Amino acid sequence: MEEVKLHYDVNAYDFTCAGEASGKLKRSLKDLGFDASLVRNVAIAVYEAEINMVIHAEGGVIDATITPECITVVLDDKGPGIPDVELAMQEGYSTAPENVRSLGFGAGMGLPNIKKYTDEMSIDTEIGVGTTITLKIYNK
């Protein structure tokens, strides 16, 4: 398998499309023959990050680079940035608004879940500029 690159756009505040990018990525990885548990881990991590983009940022872009050894996903948004990353990483901490909570979001598990399901995670964020999250999941 050669390197495969995939790109997805995520729309702001559109909960009817939320999960589409991660769903498509999941299908692509399945079709490429990756192990089901690896596919599930990538899908969960990317879904959480995608939902964060919909809730907190004004959408963004997702780029995935797939090789037989590693799946790298970069999620880039031009949202408000994360003021306190350490706090945001705590399970149960959420700044999701009430209307979003009523849809079942805002458990404060988004970033912790991303960390849990990936081998490497880095957050590059700047207030008023945006956030870039880079995820790596190795095919062991």
Partner 1 sequence: MDVKELVEKLDLRVLCGEDLGRKVSGCYCGDLLSWVMSRANEGDIWLTVMGNINSVGVAVLADVACIVLTENAALDSDALSRAKQNDVIILQTDKNSYQMAAAISKLI
Q: Would you say the C-alpha torsion 7, 30, 70, 76 has a positive or negative sign?
A: positive
Shortest reach from residue 102's CB to partner 1, in Å: 9
Nearest CA among 61, 56, 22 for reference residue 42: 22
Question: Would you say 100 and 53 are in contact if contact means Cβ atoms under 8 Å apart?
Answer: no
Please identify, using beta-carbon distances, which residue of 37 and 69 lies nearer to partner 1: 37
Question: Would you say 7 and 61 are in contact if contact means Cβ atoms under 8 Å apart?
Answer: yes
Shortest reach from residue 123's CB to partner 1, in Å: 17
Chain residues in the site for partner 1 (CB under 8 A): 15-16, 18-19, 22-23, 26, 36, 40, 43-44, 47-48, 51, 103-110, 113, 116-117
Phi, psi of 10 (to 5 degrees): -115, 125
Please identify, using beta-carbon distances, which residue of 103 and 129 lies nearer to partner 1: 103
Please identify, using beta-carbon distances, which residue of 18 and 121 lies nearer to partner 1: 18
Shortest reach from residue 42's CB to partner 1, in Å: 10
Please identify, using beta-carbon distances, which residue of 1 and 36 lies nearer to partner 1: 36
Shortest reach from residue 103's CB to partner 1, in Å: 6
Question: Would you say 74 and 62 are in contact if contact means Cβ atoms under 8 Å apart?
Answer: yes
Tell me the β-bridge partners of 61: 9, 76
